[in-house]
Structure 1
């Protein structure tokens, strides 16, 4: 009798127990979630819609739509990889001095060229732009038509020991030919100071850095294309080829030229960020980076472009210039002036060719800016003393050939220009969290609550399809 009564009570309890449905999940969710306004919304099966309920539904839907719009915008902005630029002046106790490459505006020595007939007339025609392929066909001598040699070019060039008259760095006189390294550039034979990057400065000012006195020897000039007298100064990083220098200064005889330099360090973000408007940069500091250039190291945009130009000119002319670091056949004097150099000049000005080279800038590099001023050299008071030192014939000869160059940091400061991501993962989450809190009062845990609701709905639907009751399973979670 007792067993029958117990069975009857259990059966009645099951019949009395209401069916567990989706509305029950919603009621439990709305009463426990931290999402704002959800508890104001009643399902039709629980309570007919009211004006108040409709208003809250509209408010919830509108703020949700506004939130979705803002989230899509935030994520779109994040994946566009925007950047900001930070400029930071840094005071330094010491700054590495740049490499200073100095070229006489006329690198060939006419007194040495005189041993070759027609050489002066040849350079005169070159300076007049007469360098066509058939212009010098009558010059059959080996010196004109044979491949050039580096030794011959050195012997025919202005000697550094005669040009570099007096050298001072940091207040100390040094041997010019010991610290200046001869190097061939597009200008001819030049000389580079601090080629091994071992010079640093500890004080700013024109008397505390590099001071060089030059004798350009105009009496030994031959005809040249630029028709100028003086020196050309290239400021660059010691690892960079002088022809790749972007900072160029000229100085004239009879003047003391002051070159006040400032150093800028650039740091750009590698791909997928755009370092230069719509162009990415190469992360040459990455451990995985391999220099793609065959003839220049390290990789720089200018080195890449120079290699592209020289390789194209080599294909056109079948030889290379003496200033190209390529183990290949050097051009003859005639072919250098009639084919190779014109090809280099033409290609460097061709915008289509520049795009075809597909050179990318490095992400980290240094640049130098220069402010130039000058004063008369020498002062009248020093005329007699310098005439004895320089052994010049008279003041006119001295002012036509001698000049002084001062290259110095005007202040012990390096300006760092750094590109930084405008959005990081942390800032993205902060912005998203702020939008969620403003619109719905939601947080990351609220997102977890919504995810839990979706999981419960899936469990409920799966169990219903299988004819099971999901209440116990959901309650036991």
Structure 2
């Protein structure tokens, strides 16, 4: 029954096509000639309408050659576009007022000497924590001392110990502070934990009263007393280094000391000239940034902040706690966890490459926009003999103490401008379309209308080919076709639509 209905439908379709389209199939040659004569594709009508075979052959060569060049040029433009090319532009803008960076200061000697005289284990633990920021190799050669310390200090918190016995900033360690001619005070600095222990960040945006910042003027001037007798970095070796280490960074980013910090030794005056460099990177596939990257515990995205959060996630999962210098709301790791879990976890993260940076498919791709402050530093001895005597009398310290403990740092802008380095797309979609349209117009006189004409022509010929194959299909039953002059009433009522 179903086969019979199918046969009837095929019969009706065949009858309709024979009746309606057979005459059109016979006029296909005329359709091709009309299309060639009327199309806006230049040169085609010269091939069809001319009677001279020589002229027709010449025009055929011209059209085919132009079409070949167009196809070659368009393919080259698409290949170039999908190579995701970029250009880099550098803009220099001269300004009077510019954002002053944040500056984070630390003492190279991290702990108060009286608190760590018999606690060499603190330096092992601090070395482990420093591995949160960079790859480390700690040689543990005093495990018995560590075990003895753990037995008697189950509730020991290295965070609280560092906060209480680390470097502090007050009127005795920060002797002078001046920001663009106005005094600043220790309370204007924010306390932060870094791999250098207690550090302090000066951010002019956090000052109670907004101050005018310009690229002229002295900038930020500070005089520190590092107090070598009171602070140490290793009680077994004494004072390894003495001075102030600091990093200049964007006010919206965290300080990063690994390879980026500056150091000024005691008895020296450092004059730091900075300039602002803003870098804008394109998103993948033109560049390597991912604009949708967000961080949970940082306001803006940075690779450094991303690495911190990545390591925090792994350590939280593996150890059930967090080192206090990593972001998060987890429980602080005690000493036992630091020794038995955190250090192996950090080693495993580095060994397996679980937290990677750089490319778009890494854990922490580069940010799409970042601001750096390249520096030029010059040094000179701090104060002459007369100045040393004056400062000595003012502070009631000996000249020898002044030379061995005081550090003077001046930070100011170098130029009346800032630079922006911007990575740009070498070829946008609009430029690609313009290139393609220019090639079509130059060699073929073609436009979007021409392309639509060609699509219509190809579609019509495709329909005719379908009809031809349908009429010649071998599986089609051979019916006795009625003459075209005698259509049936049934066909007239059906009104089957054309292909």
TM-score, L = length of structure 2: 0.74
1:404 and 2:415 matched: no
8 Å contact kept, 1:309–1:347: no
Alignment gaps of 5+ in structure 1: 1-18, 469-477
Partner of 1:258: 271
2:286 to 271, 274, 282: 274
Distance 1:438 1:230 in 2: 70
How many equivalent pairs are there?
A: 431
Deviations 1:90-132 (A, max 9, x none): 1122111111000000120113445xxx226875998996535
**Structure 1 range deviating more: 234-243 or 218-227:** 218-227
For residues 326-345 of structure 1, the aligned pairs below 5 Å read 326-332=328-334, 336=338, 340=342, 344=346
- The Cα of 1:150 is off from its aligned counterpart by 4.0
**Aligned residues of 2:98 and 2:213 also touching (Cα < 8 A):** yes
Given that 1:85 and 1:417 are in contact with CA atoms closer than 8 Å, whether structure 2 keeps it comes out as: yes
The yes-or-no answer on 1:38 pairing with 2:44 is yes
**What pairs with 1:424-439 in structure 2 (closer than 5 Å)?**
424-439=428-443
Separation of aligned partners in 1, 2:337 and 2:458: 79
Residue 426 of structure 1: how far off its partner (Å):
2.3
After TM superposition, give the deviation of residue 337 of structure 1 in Å: 7.2
Alignment map for 1:3-42 (pairs within 5 Å): 21-42=27-48
Distance 1:342 1:386 in 2: 50
- Higher mean C-alpha displacement, 50-59 vs 443-452: 443-452
Aligned CA distance change for structure 1 residues 459 and 301 (closer, same or farther; 3 Å): same
Q: 2:393 corresponds to which residue?
A: 388
**2:441 maps to 1:441:** no
Aligned 1:116-131 pairs, distance under 5 A: 118-119=118-119, 131=140
Distance (whole Å) between structure 2 residues aligned to residue 400 and residue 252 of structure 1:
9
Q: Distance in 2 between matches of 1:246 and 1:123?
A: 20
Q: Residues 233-382 of structure 1: matches in 2 within 5 Å? A: 233-243=246-256, 247-271=260-284, 273-275=285-287, 280-284=288-292, 291=294, 293-313=295-315, 319-332=321-334, 336=338, 340=342, 344=346, 346=347, 350=351, 352-355=353-356, 358-382=363-387
Q: Is the 8 A contact 2:316 2:330 kept in 1?
A: no
Per-residue CA distance 1:131-154 (angstroms, 9 max, x = gap):
357242453377755331644322
Secondary structure of 1:76's counterpart equals helix
Q: Tell me if the contact between 2:250 and 2:371 (Cα under 8 Å) persists in the aligned partners.
A: yes
CA RMSD of aligned residues (A): 3.8
Determine the structure 1 residue equivalent to 2:195.
Answer: 186
Alignment of 1:54 onto 2:96: no
Describe the SS at the equivalent of 1:51: helix
Q: 1:154 maps to what in 2?
A: 163
Cα separation, 1, equivalents of 2:151 and 2:121: 17
User: Is the 8 Å Cα contact of residues 88 and 417 (structure 1) preserved in structure 2?
Assistant: yes
Q: Comparing 212-221 with 256-265, which one deviates more in the overlay?
A: 256-265
Structure 2 alignment gaps of length 5 or more: 1-24, 128-136, 472-482, 485-499
- Paired with 1:160 and 1:243, the residues of 2 have a C-alpha distance of 20
- So what's the TM-score if we normalise by structure 1? 0.78
The 8 Å contact of residues 278 and 419 in structure 2, kept in 1 or not, is answered as: yes
CA distance in 2, matches of 1:454, 1:120: 85
Paired with 1:335 and 1:391, the residues of 2 have a C-alpha distance of 46
Q: Work out the CA distance in 1 between the residues paired with 2:79 and 2:124.
A: 63
Structure 1 residues 327 and 174, CA, compared in 2 at 3 Å: closer, same or farther? same
Segment drifting more, 91-100 vs 352-361? 352-361
